[in-house]
């Protein structure tokens, strides 16, 4: 008997974890042969996971977004579900409520190639964190003073940017540096807590646009990234997801207020 073709309904059921094992294997085989579809499904899963964690309900999807699967534009049904939750007043709870409300509901539908490029910039941020966060002697070029650092970064990037204050979350400013990026100059701002754990905020100019906050996980790091005001912002660290999400939320809010 000829196998049933994979339809959009199958992909939705796969994301929700509603397929039996045999059909799930068929969908997995389908996705392995179609990288763009696999990327789209990975984005659905990432969105669904964040929504479920914010609401504290339901099971997590089986696969999370990873740096190996570039992001593409979300499908109508995913946005509709987020809107429905927001309308019910449920989405403004839990860690990350600020950027969830401002991110998903304000996100534009954009061409896949642009979303792919934004994720590649997030991957640059991951590599920058891996390179400089472990440094002991010279992790940053300009240390300490947030006012001096903000002026220096703003001058180098050609736009006025604040240095977020994450002290309320237990992270003190270490300093920052500028780096070459794929679209021009990038900035890396570093923070550290009392245990020595470090997180970085990476900023690089990009094409005009706006995106919801997205999540990346690699073997050693987590990152939240979003696009706003023609910049890609990436918060990276090896913390647990809830803690890093709270830092990303605080960072997002401060950049929003400054703009």
In a domain, 3, yes or no: no
Q: At residue 145, what are phi and psi to the nearest 5 degrees? A: -35, 115
Sorting pLDDT into bands at 50, 70 and 90, what band is 50?
Answer: low
Residue 244 maps to a domain:
yes
pLDDT at 35 over 50: yes
Residues 6+ apart with CB under 8 A from 8: 75
- For residue 206, the enclosing domain spans 112-258
Question: Quick check: 86 pLDDT over 70?
Answer: no
Q: Are residues 134 and 247 in the same domain?
A: yes
**Residue 98 and residue 147 in one domain:** no
Q: Are residues 154 and 183 in the same domain?
A: yes
Residue 61 CA, chain-centre distance (Å), reads 17
Total tally of structural domains belonging to the chain: 2
Same-domain status, 160 and 89: no
Provide the percentage of residues in the chain whose pLDDT is more than 70. Answer: 71
Count H helices and E strands in the chain, helices first: 8, 7
Closest by CA position to 232, among listed 212, 250, 218: 212
Same domain, 98 and 116: no
Enumerate the H helices of the chain as residue ranges. 8-16, 21-32, 35-55, 76-87, 97-104, 112-132, 146-157, 241-258
Same domain, 91 and 131: no
**Which residue, of 73, 104, 135, is where some domain finishes?**
104
Q: Among the residues of 67-218, which ranges form H helices?
A: 76-87, 97-104, 112-132, 146-157
The HSE-up count of residue 31 (CA atoms within 13 Å, CB side) is 20
pLDDT tens per residue, range 107-156: 444 555 567 778 889 999 999 999 999 999 899 999 977 889 999 999 99
CA dist 154 → 179, 182, 203 (Å) = 13, 18, 11
Query: Cα–chain-centroid distance for residue 41?
Result: 16
């Amino acid at each position: 008997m000829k196998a049933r073709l994979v339809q959009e309904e199958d992909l939705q059921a796969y994301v929700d974890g509603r397929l039996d094992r045999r059909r799930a294997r068929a969908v997995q085989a389908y996705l392995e042969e179609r990288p763009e579809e696999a990327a789209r499904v990975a984005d659905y899963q990432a969105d669904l996971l964040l929504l479920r964690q914010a609401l504290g309900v339901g099971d997590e999807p089986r696969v999370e977004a990873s740096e190996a699967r570039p992001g593409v534009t979300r499908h109508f049904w995913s946005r509709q579900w987020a809107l429905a939750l927001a309308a019910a007043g449920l989405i403004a709870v839990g860690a990350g409520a600020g950027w969830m409300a401002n991110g998903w509901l304000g996100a534009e539908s954009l061409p896949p190639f642009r979303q792919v490029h934004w994720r590649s910039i997030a991957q640059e941020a991951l590599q920058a964190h891996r390179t400089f966060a472990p440094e002991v002697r010279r992790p940053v070029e300009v240390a300490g003073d947030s006012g001096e650092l903000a002026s220096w970064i703003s001058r180098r990037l050609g736009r006025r940017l604040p240095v977020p204050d994450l002290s309320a979350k237990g992270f003190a400013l270490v300093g920052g540096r500028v780096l070459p990026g794929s679209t021009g100059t990038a900035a890396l701002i570093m923070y550290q807590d009392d245990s020595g754990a470090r997180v970085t905020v990476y900023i690089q100019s990009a094409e005009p646009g706006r995106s919801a906050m997205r999540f990346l996980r690699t073997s050693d790091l987590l990152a939240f990234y979003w696009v706003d005001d023609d910049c890609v912002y990436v918060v990276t660290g090896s913390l647990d997801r809830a803690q890093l999400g709270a830092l990303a939320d605080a960072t997002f809010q401060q950049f929003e207020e400054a703009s």
